Amino acid sequence: MQSLGRHVLAEVYGCRFEALNDIKFVQDVMINAALEAGAEVREFVFHKFSPQGVSGVVVISESHLAIHTWPELGYAAVDVFTCGEKVNPWDACNYLAEKFGSTYVNANEVQRGLIHEQEERLVANI
């Protein structure tokens, strides 16, 4: 498979309630995580839920970062998708885990891309 991008899916645990429930803090951390990874920030949108929780997306030239928080559980689901060679999604994940005060992170990287013709035929037959 020819990789078009790297997609890190992170489960971030043991975070501080205040950090995950503060929309301004979450927004700042996510934007700075993108910058730490070497990305170019284009746009962002964040929403505060009642009674708690924040969701948001940072659109970068290289793709996106997304988050949804459960402050009452000290948990955040994070998505960092980058294209090209210049941005490292792991730098973004490590930065935000540190800023949220995480005690444990479970993360996996998925290579996103094109399926070769032979593999495409196998998938079509499933």
Residue 116 designated active-site:
no
Residue 93 designated active-site:
no
The single residue of 3, 7, 50, 83 carrying the catalytic annotation is: 83
The single residue of 7, 15, 63, 64 carrying the catalytic annotation is: 63
**Nearest to residue 63, comparing CAs of 122, 1, 124, 4?**
4
In the chain the first and final C-alpha atoms are separated, in Å, by 18
Residue 50's φ and ψ, nearest 5 degrees, are -115, 130
Residue 68 designated active-site:
yes
The catalytic residues are: 63, 68, 83
